[in-house]
Structure 1
């Protein structure tokens, strides 16, 4: 079990200190959709480190869309970056386009836009966190790696069909950065009421089906898209999707302010497979491992913390935690560890059992918790008052105390994050060890 910690801070998911390392150039805006495009990404010329523990000192600036409304002027990240890496290519999602950028040079490779209507961009705001675009999904299909992203589009009238809004799914070849197909599906019933802004984001896929989350204000729903037929299998409102695994999508009913429960819906037809934790409030569902999810919230009546590790196949509670998960974000490393963290606290769980592997600060109060920025393949990336640091995911021990970067997005070639010594926006730094 994790020991109890009081909830702290409103925004605590990813915090990075901002300063300047001489890289003072501002991130360049992406070219207009009509700008010339290259033929595709260049081959990855960089050595691979899985996972990387050091990064080079010089980084290529990424377009402003990679961090707009995600990172505040003071350097506090309130939402994950809308960026997915495939090799050395960064795919950057926005409500208007998908950008492909060569992280070696910072060169724009392609600007992909929806074809079935004009994209609906959200109203500009000076406040952080209003950009609804989230990272696209990397789909390892039989034809090679494919990037899947989604847009809300204004669908023009045609024949007897009235004009309206739709969700457009766009598939892009990750190697060539070229669009390979698009498909349109209807907005879940009831979510397209009035003139409210719609947001649509890919949640995850299971190889044959893509789950798309759709939001209008505090109201949310989901659409399941068959990737073979490119048609919607089913849709549902009053559901906040969290995890896609083994033929189901697991999420929570209602909005975060409503009384809710955890549901698992069959990907094939949307029918309920199981439910758990009724009478909860503010539920979130995230991956603990291939067979388990973490469901966290509060008891609707008593407001006491509710944290349970649920079996994805059955919905049965495997274990519970006494820790208050308010403002906590949990990240599965893609291997065998999940790290949960908020400002001033971090802990690692075994992905198969939910057993606590380590927790910081430690009981002796000799070590502090890093502000976790990424977790990948056995490495925990973050920063403390002493600068960036990399921890071993299973032991919690310091693995590298001078990595040169606390990446927010990372793979074996690249780390993407804020310049460690200051500067605006985010840059792509080569893995060096």
Structure 2
């Protein structure tokens, strides 16, 4: 999981920046009788801003546009997404990451308005591209000075010259989120194991704070992470044998690889200075996800005892805020970029969903609820107070704080959403579509 996040990384600025908009201020009220009008078409400006709804409760299914196949290559099996999308949303633009490019896609027209490629030669050769052995992670929308930027890393080969040996690098690129114009590019020389390993290698921008972006490059049993100053375009720190997974507040949290293939330990560092903050227990398996402004989830097994743990941790000091139910239904947790964390999935016999306060870890509600004769949806996304998902009756939207139904006729159950658009698979389950928000 993306990080979860995964979804909180879309920009919040759109609601005040776009003119002539229709606004919903909370995931509640209005019900299914609220206006459900398809955004008006314009012949003068295909890039004219759509009406926005923050958060959206309905989607215009007849106005969907196709998202390029790069968004689902290697991630789609039998009509189901196996991994998070390599996509970041900014207003009505979807930035789709591939190993050798970032595509800026206008979700109104479905057109790719810009294709940005690395300056260096792609790390993959043609055979590797076909096998999709080096998938891309989702770009990250950050604040770069006074403008919003989309930051993505490319793995590239750098050819040697003179006495300088050939090597691999992570070419971290910043793109203006509004115009899709390249702002800057910074190469980071990578360790030898990146070119020597036979394992899948991924590079990801996992978070940012105060002008610093955190980049992680990892294989199955090796990793390295970096802190970059976007303003000065310089490397601040390097953490060998460490895979950063998320940035919560000012703290980055990830896993330290203490022994190849076995030991893992959750470790927190100050994301700007790289200063050590705390270390978790020695584990032989570990999963970490962002879970709120200062929280992360950690699932694993203690190395010595073998005892399993499922915890909500305070990212600032590593303390346990709450113990979670350890099972498939609790392993996918999504922060709504506001105040709620929703964990859900298939339990022993049916779908389950639990909501927690993203600051305190307090449980807010659980589904299914037999006493109220309510089932749990299959959760696909959460954003700004709304929970999106499906039941046998179709796509639904729930209030993230109360768990109450908000819309039983949402149209789409997006896997990624913002105020302008929701991304979801079509009815056949083989094509990712962009559906405009309508209410």
TM-score by length of 2: 0.82
In 2, the alpha carbon distance for the partners of 1:186 and 1:347 equals: 43
Distance 1:76 1:200 in 2: 24
What's the CA shift for 1:190? 4.2
Query: Is 1:311 the counterpart of 2:314 in the alignment?
Result: yes
- Of 55, 65, 72, which aligns to 1:67? 72
Counterparts of 1:168-207 in structure 2 under 5 Å? Answer: 168-188=171-191, 190-194=193-197, 197-207=200-210
1:353 to 348, 360, 382: 360
Task: Measure the CA separation in 2 of the matches of 1:415 and 1:326.
Answer: 24
The yes-or-no answer on 1:286 pairing with 2:289 is yes
User: Per residue, is there more helix in 1 or in 2?
Assistant: 2
Partner of 2:264: 260
Q: CA deviation at 1:44?
A: 4.4
For 1:225-247, what per-residue CA distance to the aligned partner results, in whole angstroms no more than 9, with x for missing partners?
22122222222232222221333
Quote the residue 1:375 is aligned against: 382
> More displaced, 132-141 or 364-373?
364-373
SS in 2 for 1:65: helix
Q: CA offsets, 1:81-125, max 9 Å, x none?
A: 111111101100010100001100001100000013334367256
1:362-403 CA deviation, whole Å, 9 max, x = no partner?
254832222211110011111122221111111112211111
Q: Does the 8 Å CA contact 1:139/1:207 hold for their aligned counterparts? A: no
Q: Equivalent of 2:431, from 422, 425, 433?
A: 425
Tell me the SS of whatever aligns to 1:289.
Answer: coil
Aligned residue among 325, 335, 339 for 1:336: 339
| CA distance in structure 2 between the aligned counterparts of 1:204 and 1:44, rounded to whole angstroms | 30
* 8 Å Cα contact 1:117-1:154 kept in structure 2: yes
CA distance in 2, matches of 1:170, 1:141: 12
Matches within 5 A, 1:213-228: 213-228=216-231
Q: Is 1:295 the equivalent of 2:295?
A: no
Counterpart of 2:248 (choices 245, 248, 255) is: 245
Q: Of the candidates 40, 48, 52, which is equivalent to residue 52 of structure 2? A: 48
SS in 2 for 1:270: coil
Equivalent residues in 2 for 1:401-420 (5 A)? 401-419=408-426
Q: Give the count of matched residue pairs.
A: 390
Q: Is the 8 A contact 2:123 2:168 kept in 1?
A: no
Contact 1:297 1:326 (C-alpha < 8 Å) held by counterparts = no
CA contact (8 A) 1:169 1:183 kept: yes
Query: Residue by residue, what CA displacement relative to the aligned partner does 1:233-289 show, whole Å, maximum 9, x if unpaired?
Result: 22223222222133331112228962322111222443321112x133322222222
CA separation of 1:180 and 1:322: change in aligned 2, threshold 3 A? closer
* 8 A Cα contact 2:150 2:177, kept in partner: yes
**After superposition, what is the alpha-carbon deviation per residue over 1:117-163, rounded to whole angstroms, capped at 9, x for unaligned?**
3343672567xx95621110001222311110011001121342111
Pairing 1:38-117 to 2, within 5 Å after superposition: 43-58=47-62, 59-72=64-77, 74-117=78-121
Q: Which runs of 4+ in 1 moved over 6 A?
A: none
Where does structure 1 lack aligned partners over 5 or more consecutive residues? 1-12, 15-40
- For the residues of structure 2 that align with 1:134 and 1:244, how far apart are their CA atoms? 16
How far apart, CA to CA, are the structure 2 residues paired with 1:390 and 1:130? 36
Measure the CA separation in 1 of the matches of 2:429 and 2:252: 40
**2:373, 2:393 → 1: CA distance?**
14
CA distance in 2, matches of 1:233, 1:107: 38
Residues 218, 363 of structure 1: CA spacing in aligned structure 2 closer, same or farther, 3 A cutoff?
farther
For the aligned residue pairs, the C-alpha RMSD in angstroms reads 2.5
Deviation at 1:54, TM superposition (A): 0.5
Contact 1:288–1:354 (8 Å) recurs in 2: no
Change (3 A) 1:262 1:418: same
Q: Is the contact between residue 297 and residue 325 of structure 1 (CA under 8 Å) also seen in structure 2?
A: no
The 5-angstrom pairing of residues 116-195 of structure 1 reads 116-120=120-124, 123-124=128-129, 132-188=135-191, 190-194=193-197
